[in-house]
Amino acid sequence: MTPLKILLVENIHPVAKIRLEQEGFHVDLTAHSPGEDELIELVKKYDALGIRSKTVVTEKVLKHSQSLLTIGCFCIGTNQVELS
């Protein structure tokens, strides 16, 4: 079985990558907060997305995320994710 692919953005602590990989996930890290257009392209390749407070997940991003199963917010609150 192919492991789920997770993208962690905005300098999420590297220990998160280690722990997720120990559970069998494929994890990529990026230091920056991708803008909407870049995020649309990125999420097409991943099953899960981990964000912090600067990354905004808009309705447009969600509409283009064919394989995205979940979004984890490594911050306080979820106001940067379109929930409606």
**10-33: pLDDT as tens digits:** 999 999 999 999 999 999 999 999
- Domain locations in the chain as residue ranges: 5-73
**72-82: pLDDT as tens digits:** 999 998 999 99
CATH superfamily of 5-73: NAD(P)-binding Rossmann-like Domain (3.40.50.720)
Q: Which residues contact 66 (CB under 8 A, 6 or more apart)?
A: 44
The full 3-state SS of the chain, as one line of letters, equals: CCCCEEEECCCCCHHHHHHHHHCCCEEEECCCCCCHHHHHHHHCCCCEEEECCCCCECHHHHHCCCCCCEEEECCCCCCCECCC
pTM: 0.92
